[in-house]
Amino acid sequence: MSPIRPTSPAGAWPAWAIAGLALVLSAAALADDLVVPGSGNPEYVLGQLARAFNARQQRHRVIVPPSSGTAGAIRDVGENLSSLGRVGRPLKDDEKAKGLGYLPIGREPVVVVAGAGVDVKAITSAQVADIYAGRITNWRELGGRSAPIRAIGREKTDASRLALERIVLPLKEVSFPGTIKVVHLDPQLIALLDRYPTSLGFLNRSALAACTTKVVPLILDGVEPTPANVASGRYAAVLEFGLIHGPGGPGNAGRAFIEFIRSAEGKNILHQHGVSPVGD
Amino acid sequence: MRRPSTIAALILVFALLAIGSHWFAFRLTSGVLHEAVDLWEVQKVKAVGNEVIVLLENESHRVRLTARLTAGRNSLGRSLARRPADEATLRAVMDQAYAAGGASILEVTNRNQTVIYRAHDPAQNGDRADHWGIFEALEGTGALVSAVESDTLTVRAVEPLRHQGQIVGTLTAGTRIDSDLLRRLGSELGLHIFLVSRAGRTLAATVPDAAPPDTAAIQEAFTGKIPVYRHWSATHLTAAYLPVTIVDDAYVVVAEMEGGAAYMHLAAGNRQAALATLAILAISVVAGVLLMRWILAPLRRLRESAALTLEALTGRPMQKRRGDEIQTVVGVLEALTDYLTQRNRELEEARQAADAANAAKSQFLSSMSHEIRTPLNGILGMADLLRRTPLDPQQARYLESLAASGRGLHGLLGDILDLAKVEAGKLHLEQIDFFLASMLDGLTDIYRDLAAGQGTAFEARIPSNVRVPVRGDPTRLRQILANLLGNAVKFTEAGRIDFTVERIPGPADDDRLWLRFTVSDTGIGIAPEALGELFRPFTQADSSTTRRYGGSGLGLVISRHLAHQMGGEIRVASTLGKGTTFRVELPFVRGNEAACASSAEIDELPALRRGARILVAEDNPVNRMVIEGILQTFGVEPTLVEDGEQAVAQARVGRYDAILMDCQMPRLDGYAATRAIRAEETGGRIPIIALTANAFAEDRQRCFDAGMDDYLAKPVPPVLLAQALARCIPREDGDGRNDGTGYAPTLQPLAAPREAAGPALPVLDRRALVDNPDFAGPGKEKFRARIVRLFLADSARLQDELARNAASGDWLAAARNAQTLGSSSAAVGAVALSVTSAEVENMARAGDADGLREVLPRLSFELSRLSEAFDSNGEPATSESAKG
Cα gap B849→B757, rounded to integer Å: 18
In whole angstroms, give the CA distance from residue B620 to residue B372.
12
pTM, full prediction: 0.48
Can you tell me whether residue B67 is helix, strand or coil? Answer: helix
pLDDT-above-70 percentage for chain B: 84
Residues in chain A: 280
**DSSP-assigned letters across all residues of B172-241:** EEEEEE-HHHHHHHHHHHTSEEEEE-TTS-EEEESSTT-PPS-HHHHHHHHHH-S-EEEEETTTTEEEEE
More confident residue, B717 or A92: A92
Which residues of B fall within a CB distance of 8 Å from A185? 225, 245
CA closest to B134 among chain A residues: A148
Classify the phi-psi angles of B834: left when phi > 0, otherwise alpha if psi is within -120 to 50, otherwise beta: alpha
User: With an 8 Å Cβ cutoff, are B135 and A183 in contact?
Assistant: no
Residue type, B819: Q
| Torsion angle defined by CA atoms of residues B157, B163, B166 and B172, in that order, rounded to the nearest 10 degrees | -10
Q: Does residue A147 sit at the B interface (CB-CB below 8 Å)?
A: yes
Chain B interface, best mutation among A87, A152, A181, A186, by max B CB count within 10 A? A181
- Smallest Cβ–Cβ distance between A75 and the set B130, B135, B226 belongs to B226
> Does residue A8 register a pLDDT over 70?
no
Chain-wide mean pLDDT for chain A? Answer: 86
Sign of CA dihedral A174, A175, A181, A187: positive
Is the predicted pLDDT of residue B752 greater than 50, yes or no?
A: no
pLDDT at residue B877 tops 50: yes
- What's the mean pLDDT in B180-205? 81
Q: Which residue does chain B place closest to A197, by CA atoms?
A: B136
**B455: Cβ–Cβ under 8 A, 6 or more apart, which residues?**
B493, B494
CB within 8 Å: A155 and B226: no
Band of pLDDT at residue B748, cut at 50, 70 and 90: very low
- Asked if A157 lies within 8 A of B224 by C-beta distance, the reply is yes
Q: Write the residue in A69, A117, A178 that is nearest to B147 by C-beta.
A: A178
CB contacts under 8 A, A 3-22 vs B, are none
Is A188 within 8 Å of B148 when comparing Cβ atoms?
Answer: no
pLDDT of residue A137: 92
Cα–Cα dist B813/B271, whole Å: 134
Give the residue from chain A lying closest to B246, CA to CA: A183
From residue B185, give the alpha-carbon distance in Å to each of A129, B51, B55. 40, 9, 8
CA of B85 vs chain A CAs: smallest distance (Å): 25
Among B28-37, B471-480, B495-504, name the one with the lowest average pLDDT.
Answer: B28-37
Q: If pLDDT is split at 50, 70 and 90, which confidence band does A14 have?
A: low
Mean pLDDT of B109-116: 89
- Beta partners for residue B155, in sequence order: B146, B175
Most A CBs within 10 A among B53, B136, B148, B229, hence the mutation to make, goes to B136
Q: Is the confidence at residue B740, as pLDDT, over 50?
A: no
- Residues in B closer than 8 angstroms to A155, CB to CB, are 222-223, 225, 250
Q: How many CB atoms lie within 10 A of CB A17?
A: 12
Highest-confidence range of A5-19, A53-67, B794-808, by mean pLDDT? A53-67
Please name the residue of chain A whose CA is at the shortest distance from the CA of residue B224: A71
Whether the CB-CB separation of B517 and B571 falls below 8 Å is answered with no
Task: Check residue B545 and give its pLDDT.
Answer: 57
The answer, yes or no, to whether residue B884 has pLDDT greater than 60, is no
Among candidate residues B717, B710, B728, B733, the one with its CA nearest the CA of residue B610: B733
- A219 CB within 8 Å of a chain B CB: no
Question: Hey, are the CB atoms on B250 and A195 less than 8 Å from each other?
Answer: no
Mean pLDDT to the nearest integer, A229-247: 91
Of A68, A69, A147, the CB nearest to B135: A147
Q: CA of A192: which chain B residue's CA is closest?
A: B248
- Give the separation between CA A133 and CA A171, rounded to whole angstroms: 8
A116 to chain B, any CB pair closer than 8 A? The answer is no
User: What residues of chain A lie within 8 A of the CB of B223, using their CB?
Assistant: 155-157
CA distance linking residue A278 with residue A231, whole number of Å = 12
**Do residues B117 and B126 lie in contact, with contact meaning Cβ atoms separated by under 8 Å?**
no
Å from B243 to nearest chain A CA? 8
* Three-class SS state of A203: strand
Percentage helix, strand, coil for chain B under 3-state DSSP, each rounded to 5: 55, 20, 30
Residues paired with residue A138 on neighbouring β-strands, in sequence order: A148
Interchain contact, A192 vs B248, CB within 8 Å: yes
Q: Which comes out higher in pLDDT, residue A153 or B548?
A: A153
Residues of A in contact with B112 (CB under 8 A): none
| Inter-residue contact B581 to B519 (CB < 8 Å) | yes
> With an 8 Å Cβ cutoff, is A185 touching chain B?
yes
Interchain pair B222, A155: CB under 8 A = yes
E strand or H helix at B622: helix B621-633
Question: Is B245 in contact with A185 (Cβ distance < 8 A)?
Answer: yes
> Cβ of B248 and A183 within 8 Å?
yes
Confidence category of residue B737, pLDDT binned at 50, 70, 90: very low
The residues that bridge with A203 in the sheet, in sequence order, are: A111
- Does the beta-carbon distance from B226 to A188 stay under 8 Å? no
Q: Which residues from chain B sit within 8 angstroms of residue A149, using beta carbons?
A: none
Is A215 near chain B, with CB under 8 Å?
no
The string of pLDDT tens digits covering residues B515-548 is 999 999 998 888 888 887 778 766 555 555 555 5
| Beta-carbon separation of A69 and B249 below 8 A | no
Residue B198 is nearest to which of A182, A192, A195, comparing CB atoms?
Answer: A182
Neighboring chain A residues of B225 at a CB cutoff of 8 Å = 69, 71-72, 155, 157, 184-185
Helix and strand totals (H; E) in chain B: 24, 22
The minimal CB distance from B249 to the residues A117, A182, A197 is found for A182
CB-closest option in A75, A184, A197 to B250 = A184
Q: Which positions in chain A touch B222 (Cβ < 8 Å)?
A: 155
Comparing A50-59, B236-245, B456-465, B560-569, the range with the smallest average pLDDT is B236-245
Which residue does chain A place closest to B252, by CA atoms?
Answer: A184
Give the largest Cα separation in chain A, rounded. 85
Angle at which helices B644-653 and B670-680 cross, to 10°: 20
Min Cα–Cα distance to chain A from B223, Å: 6
Beta carbons of B285 and B241 less than 8 angstroms apart: no
Q: Cα B251–B198–B147 angle (5° rounding)?
A: 65
Query: Mapping DSSP to helix (H, G, I), strand (E, B) and coil, where does residue B463 land?
Result: coil
> B248–A147: do the CB atoms touch at under 8 Å?
no
